[in-house]
Amino acid sequence: MPDSLPSSSVVALRGGPLAHPVRNPGMPFDAAWLDGSRVNQSAVERRSATLATRRPVKKDAQAAWLLKAVTCIDLTTLSGDDTEGRVRRLCAKARQPVRADILDALGMGSQRIATGAVCVYHRFVAAAVDALAGSGIPVAAVSTGFPAGLIPHPLKLKEIEASVADGAAEIDIVVTREHVLTGNWRALYDEVREFRAACGPAHLKAILATGDIRTLSNVARASMVCMMAGADFIKTSTGKEGVNATLDVSLVMVRMIREYQERTGVAIGFKPAGGVSSAKSVLAYQILMKEELGRAWLEPALLRIGASSLLADIERQLEHHVSGRYSAFNRHPVA
């Protein structure tokens, strides 16, 4: 694994415009693809336990990797007390996620660095689109009765369509967990296929809610079914489950992405969400992507990180890198 990432070109580090690769057209449902999906949990645990320890990233290389991580963040606010003012402040932070003085000290002041997207409820899509106008940063809307996904199916489709009409370029849907827990893979496929159609030009990110679907074998099969149905990204969690993103479930999901690409030639994106709140933790996910899928999956086109507090910790670590001192979190506000 290389010790650093390219930093000589704007394209290497910016978010926004890189966010939309070729769409996943999906494929007809094929239950035979699921027959061999068995997961050796102990082997997964051994592999994920070594990811962040075998090849640590330090000093200048770590700063470069953390800047890259910033461009892959879906900067998120999904609270019951969200307001339009909070969303607009979040969008301002997405436009300039790292303080200008820190970027200057890193020799990156001339680079355009922005987050990969801003993620909000449907209620705030129009405000976010307005606040981000001209930036190239897409707005992602959580949809389909997020986070539980238990509203009537026709309402799920209407919610997707409404968010796309308001300007959302990405839709984060939640799957019906019951389909996974009962092994009704055709129902899961049909559901996601209809979500994909309702998205129109917007990219579809399928949230598996891995903390709710219980087994790694379920995670593997659900990942494959969602990709068959046309998901452009598969995502671990809503951030609202008791257990959210972990390296174990992420390893299973990225290996399904690798298998799908080997079979179809289509590259699918990955989004860990929930619990990725520190610079140290995000480096482990970046190493996972690099080692399992390759360099292309370090770009916002194929990697997103659902987070809010993560950005403050990254900015804090970057300030420590250039000054030698740790500052308080309140010096790095997000929204």
What's the number of CA atoms in the CB half-sphere (13 Å) around residue 63?
18
For residue 323, what are its two tokens? 């000054």
The counts of H helices and E strands in the chain are 14, 8
Please state, in angstroms and rounded to a whole number, the distance separating the CA atoms of residues 256 and 206: 14
Question: In the structure encoding, which two tokens stand for residue 141, read together?
Answer: 């809307």
Q: What tokens appear for 189 in the block?
A: 């496929």
Q: How far apart are CA 316 and CA 102, in angstroms?
A: 10
Q: Is the dihedral of CA 238, 241, 245, 247 positive or negative?
A: negative
Selected catalytic residue, list 93, 156, 205, 271: 271
| Residue 235 is a catalytic residue | yes
**Taking a C-beta distance cutoff of 8 angstroms, is the pair 64, 231 a contact?**
no
Q: The tokens 């001339």 sit on which residue?
A: 110
| Residue labelled with tokens 């494959």 | 224
Count other Cβ atoms within 10 Å, centred on residue 11: 12
Catalytic pick from 74, 166, 172, 212? 172
User: Would you give the end-to-end CA distance of the chain in angstroms?
Assistant: 35
| Spatial CB neighbours of 239, under 8 Å, sequence gap ≥ 6 | 76, 78, 147, 273, 274, 275, 306
Active-site residue, selected from the candidate residues 68, 93, 235, 290: 235
DSSP 108: -
Residues pairing with 123 in the sheet = none
Q: How many residues does the chain have?
A: 335
Query: What gap in Å lies between CA 275 and CA 60, rounded to an integer?
Result: 25
User: Which residues carry out catalysis?
Assistant: 172, 235, 271
